[in-house]
């Protein structure tokens, strides 16, 4: 991913201040994505563990406009996470899927 391209993208005013729950077990990715989103005026809650994210969602689902989740979560399959999230309340979800080929 070219971070320079991401930095130069203009975010439509309707998305400024969007509240995002970001779930990624990779602390480096979590930190980098959080920084990029915050640079574009998103309000980010960054969580490493899926179970913690589900607990936060159960307690504060209306606090978030968007959920971003890594497909390679350690605790549970990302499809299970999405299913549980949708049972709580229908929210838009973005899933990050990265595959490496040798």
Can you tell me the distance from the alpha carbon of 62 to that of 80, in angstroms, rounded to the nearest whole number?
21
CATH code of residue 78? 3.40.50.2300
**Which DSSP symbol is given to 41?**
T
Residue 7 lies in a domain: no
Lowest mean pLDDT among 5-14, 44-53, 62-71, 73-82: 5-14
Beta bridge partners of 43: 19
Mean pLDDT of 60-78: 86
The boundaries of the domain holding residue 56 are 16-96
Given 3-state DSSP classes, what are the helix, strand and coil percentages for the chain, each rounded to the nearest 5?
A: 45, 20, 35
**Helix-then-strand count for the chain, H and E:** 4, 4
Mean pLDDT of 57-84: 86
Residue 101 lies in a domain: no
Helix residue ranges per DSSP H, 1-102: 3-7, 27-39, 50-60, 78-88
Q: Looking at residue 7, what is its pLDDT?
A: 57
Residue 70 lies in a domain: yes
Residue 55 lies in a domain: yes
Residue 4 lies in a domain: no
| CA distances (Å), origin 1, targets 7, 29, 32, 33 | 12, 11, 11, 11
Residue 27 lies in a domain: yes
Domain count, the chain: 1
pTM, whole model, 2 decimals?
0.79
Can you tell me the distance from the alpha carbon of 44 to that of 17, in angstroms, rounded to the nearest whole number?
9
Residue 89 lies in a domain: yes
Residue 75 lies in a domain: yes
pLDDT in tens, 15-47: 889 999 999 998 998 999 999 899 889 999 999
Q: Looking at residue 15, what is its pLDDT?
A: 82
């Amino acid at each position: 991913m070219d971070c320079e391209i991401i930095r130069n993208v203009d975010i439509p005013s309707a998305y400024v201040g969007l509240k995002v729950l970001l779930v990624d077990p990779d602390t480096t990715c979590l930190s980098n994505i959080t920084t990029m989103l915050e640079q574009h005026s998103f309000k980010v809650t960054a969580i490493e563990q899926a179970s913690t994210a589900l607990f936060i969602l159960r307690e504060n689902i209306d606090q978030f406009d968007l959920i971003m989740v890594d497909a390679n979560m350690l605790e549970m399959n990302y499809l299970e996470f999405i299913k549980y999230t949708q049972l709580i309340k229908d929210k838009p979800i973005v899933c990050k899927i990265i595959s490496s080929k040798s």
